């Protein structure tokens, strides 16, 4: 069967390509984010679950991100590698990368599923789930059923960018939409009609994830630019090594959120207990529940930001592989401008309309302390959204260019050194408010570093000889 050429990536106007690839990717990531967000919205508005269920969702959230981190490392790395390979007209390596990525995803997802099921209780305790007995019980229930769906979740998320790299961003979007639509329909049925509580929320999510995974399997038998054979589905050490190097930035950007959330949850538990209000048993879960909903809004914004940048990976990779650096530079400029506008829009919402955001997550069922802390959390924690958006775009763009080392180092500094470091340090001086200050402090300092790298990247693109597409993939 004749394969489809991706040469249009080097020919069509950059702006048009950006819309064609970024929009479906944004929708896919937004819909993927909605799995957990929709669960939390319905849980928060169920009077018999309330802020206890909300806090439980916050505890489990970073544990699902671990699965996502592994999946996007494989998927985004494969997407970048395939795009670079197709730009060099090397379809053989592209096929090997996809096949190896499929095998690796299946193996790691099954391993993580077993790990979660066997060690559920101690893992939940590590992420602050023992703030009170009710929260711990809800966390265990939700986590157990979510764990059973981990293989389907990881497979669907890993294959999504692979499908985009094959020239089908629309199908990648539809497959994710299908799963999320099922989740949205089943959540109210299971939670309100059947009153299955946390189990119902998890069951709705897992059923949706199964649908997305099934569609991804179907696509692998109907690829366009790359035709797969049985021999491709073997772990190729060299190919998978290069693939994972290109995906390590995506892994770190997600796994660092896990480290930050673990630090934040435990700081909330520690310094909340010392607070006059939140030190009381009946209010102990409120700070954790609130920070969880603030993070969910942040996740929506970052899904747009990452979607815009990740959607451009096939375009950047193909044009870098073909040596068309002027197009790469034009795309970088358009992307940074668009990301800054997204950050500005988000900033306006959190500073001027936080009450409406809180209302979505069941504030009417909670005490005045819940609302007051939520207002403060939104306005402080997310006050540097513009910098956060530009930083994230820079990390992913460098990854798409094949600059894995620079991308990884920036991501590590932001998420591990600053993100975790300030979450642990600032509460010592500012108590519970120190947790909220950690985010903007990290984004300001990271932006300074990102600006240096952005200027350097423009200079390098100007210096590259357009006629010699000699792309080197950095190794860590």
Answer whether residue 454 shows pLDDT above 80: yes
Mean pLDDT of 364-382: 88
Question: Which two structure tokens, joined as six digits, stand for 435?
Answer: 């947790």
Quick check: helix, strand or coil at residue 46?
coil
Residue 259: give the domain boundaries: 14-463
Cα Rg of the chain (Å, integer): 22
> Is 58 a domain residue?
yes
- The lowest-confidence range among 91-100, 165-174, 375-384, 460-469 is 460-469
Average pLDDT (162-185) is 89
Q: Over the chain, what is the mean pLDDT? A: 87
What is the dihedral sign for C-alpha 207, 213, 215, 217? negative
User: How many domains, the chain?
Assistant: 1
Contact yes or no for 117/147 (Cβ under 8 A): yes
2 domain-assigned: no
Is the residue at 292 inside a domain?
yes
The secondary structure of residue 202, as a DSSP letter, is H
| Model pTM score | 0.77
pLDDT tens for each residue of 300-319: 898 899 888 888 878 887 88
pLDDT tens for each residue of 69-105 = 999 999 989 988 998 888 788 889 999 999 999 999 9
Is residue 257 scored above 80 in pLDDT? no
| CA-based nearest residue to 251, from 120, 73, 460 | 73
pLDDT for the residue numbered 118 = 97
Per-residue pLDDT tens digits for 340-349: 999 999 999 9
Residue 411's φ and ψ, nearest 5 degrees, are: -65, -40
* Proportion of the chain above pLDDT 90, given as a percent: 45
Could you tell me if residue 1 is inside a domain? Answer: no
Say if CB 112 and CB 66 are below 8 A apart.
yes
Quote the pLDDT of residue 472: 44
- Is the model's pLDDT at 471 over the cut of 90? no
Q: Does a structural domain hold residue 82?
A: yes
- Is 472 within the bounds of a domain? no
CA–CA separation, 282 vs 290, rounded Å? 15
Q: Which H or E run includes 53?
A: helix 50-87
4 lies in some domain: no
Write the DSSP symbol of residue 384.
T
CA 305/CA 290 separation, integer angstroms: 23
Q: Are 197 and 137 in contact (CB under 8 A)?
A: no
Going by pLDDT thresholds of 50, 70 and 90, the confidence category of residue 364 is low
pLDDT in tens, 206-220: 999 999 999 999 999
393, part of any domain:
yes
CB proximity list for 224: less than 8 A, separation 6 or greater: 3, 4, 166, 167, 168
Whole-number pLDDT of residue 380: 96
Tell me the two tokens of residue 373: 């802390």
Kindly tell me if the per-residue pLDDT of 469 is higher than 70: no
In the block, residue with structure tokens 């990390």: 395
Residue 187, pLDDT above cutoff 60: yes
């Amino acid at each position: 069967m004749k394969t489809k050429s991706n040469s249009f990536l080097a020919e069509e106007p950059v702006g048009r390509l950006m819309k064609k690839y970024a929009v479906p990717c944004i929708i896919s990531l937004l819909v993927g984010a909605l799995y957990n967000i929709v669960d939390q919205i319905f849980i928060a508005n169920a009077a018999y679950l309330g802020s206890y269920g909300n806090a439980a969702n916050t505890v489990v959230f970073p544990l699902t991100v671990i699965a996502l981190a592994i999946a996007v490392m494989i998927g985004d790395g494969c997407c970048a590698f395939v795009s670079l390979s197709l730009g060099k007209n090397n379809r053989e390596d592209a096929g090997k990368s996809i096949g190896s990525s499929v095998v690796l995803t299946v193996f790691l997802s099954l391993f993580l599923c077993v790990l979660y099921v066997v060690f559920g209780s101690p893992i939940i305790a590590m992420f602050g789930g023992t703030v009170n007995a009710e929260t711990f019980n809800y966390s265990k229930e939700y986590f157990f059923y979510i764990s059973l769906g981990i293989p389907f979740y990881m497979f669907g998320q890993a294959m999504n960018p692979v499908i985009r790299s094959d020239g089908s961003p629309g199908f990648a979007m539809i497959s994710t939409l299908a799963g999320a639509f099922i989740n949205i329909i089943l959540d109210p049925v299971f939670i309100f009609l059947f009153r299955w509580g946390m189990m119902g929320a998890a069951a709705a999510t897992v059923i949706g994830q199964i649908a997305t995974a099934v569609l991804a399997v179907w696509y692998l038998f109907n690829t366009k630019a790359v035709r797969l054979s049985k021999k491709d589905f073997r772990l190729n050490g060299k190919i998978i090594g290069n693939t994972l190097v290109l995906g390590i930035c995506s892994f770190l950007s997600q796994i660092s959120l896990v480290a930050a959330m673990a630090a934040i949850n435990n700081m909330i538990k520690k310094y909340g207990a010392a607070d006059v209000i939140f030190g009381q048993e009946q209010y102990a879960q409120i700070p954790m529940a609130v920070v969880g909903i603030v993070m969910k809004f942040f996740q929506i914004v970052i899904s747009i930001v990452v979607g815009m940048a990740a959607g451009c990976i096939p375009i950047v990779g193909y044009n870098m592989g073909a040596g068309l650096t002027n197009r790469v530079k034009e795309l970088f400029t358009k992307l940074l401008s668009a990301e800054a506008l997204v950050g500005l829009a988000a900033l306006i919402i959190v500073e001027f309309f936080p009450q409406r955001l809180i209302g979505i997550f069941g504030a009417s069922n909670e005490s005045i302390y819940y609302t007051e802390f939520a207002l403060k959390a939104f306005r402080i924690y997310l006050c540097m959204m513009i910098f956060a958006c530009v930083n994230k775009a820079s990390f992913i763009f460098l990854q798409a260019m094949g600059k894995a080392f620079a991308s990884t180092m920036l991501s590590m500094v932001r998420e591990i050194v600053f993100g975790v470091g300030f979450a642990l340090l600032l509460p010592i001086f500012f108590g519970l408010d120190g947790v909220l200050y950690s985010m903007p402090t990290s984004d300001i300092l990271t932006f300074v570093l990102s600006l240096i790298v952005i200027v350097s990247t423009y200079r390098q693109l100007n210096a590259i000889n357009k006629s010699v597409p000699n792309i080197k993939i950095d190794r860590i």
